Amino acid sequence: MGALAPVVEERFARRLLSHYTAGKTVHWYVNFAEMPFSVWDALIEQGYDSVLRATARLSGRPDPVLADLVEIVVAGRGARLEWEHRQGPCTHPSAGVCALFPVLHRTLRLKGYTYVNALRHRELAGPGGDVVDVVRLARAIERGDRLPEILEPAATS
Ligand SMILES: [Zn+2]
């Protein structure tokens, strides 16, 4: 599955942004592509928190981590996660990918990955120069692929 055409992705981003900022005061930038990454991070962090709360409700585990979410999604139960994104417009291929996206994205950001382009949220570049397509990664995980090493929980020993 190819990436969205830039014009489609930009339209989607605008709609998403207006949805999340409804009723709030926001600073508008002349060039949408020049919005600071912190704006996107804040939106994705909302999704991250929301998905993990839904994971806690569905799994019964009070402090779920990525692995708990992966377990739900791989079992085909992604659509049973109840969070607000499920009611909005979405370009993701499945409910499991929707749920994995903000959690994978946030986790990669915390590990030093950064945006390749402000309008292409799904692509993040690692400190070593590797580029991750977060949607593609989410689809692979949903199909049962192992988590990449960077996302494995840190060894405790
Ligand atoms: Zn989605």
Tens-place pLDDT, residues 17-29: 777 677 666 655 5
Neighbours of ion ligand 1 (CB under 5 A): 90, 92, 98
Q: Ligand 1 centroid vs 156 CA: distance in angstroms?
A: 33
Long-range contacts of 151-155 (CB under 8 A, 24+ apart): 151/66, 151/104, 151/107, 151/108, 151/111, 153/65, 153/66, 153/67
Q: Residues, the chain, total? A: 157
Question: How close is the Cα of 92 to the center of ligand 1, in Å?
Answer: 4
125: number of Cβ within 10 Å: 16
Task: Give the start-to-end residue ranges of the domains of the chain.
Answer: 37-147
Distances (CA, A) of 119 to 14, 23, 31, 33, 75: 10, 23, 11, 6, 32
pLDDT in tens, 43-76: 999 999 999 999 999 999 999 999 999 999 999 9
pLDDT exceeds cutoff 50 at 78? yes
Compute the distance from residue 90 Cα to the ligand 1 centre, in Å: 5
- Ligand 1 geometric centre to CA of 148 (Å): 21
Top pLDDT among 100 and 2 is at: 100
Q: 101 CA to middle of ligand 1, Å?
A: 8
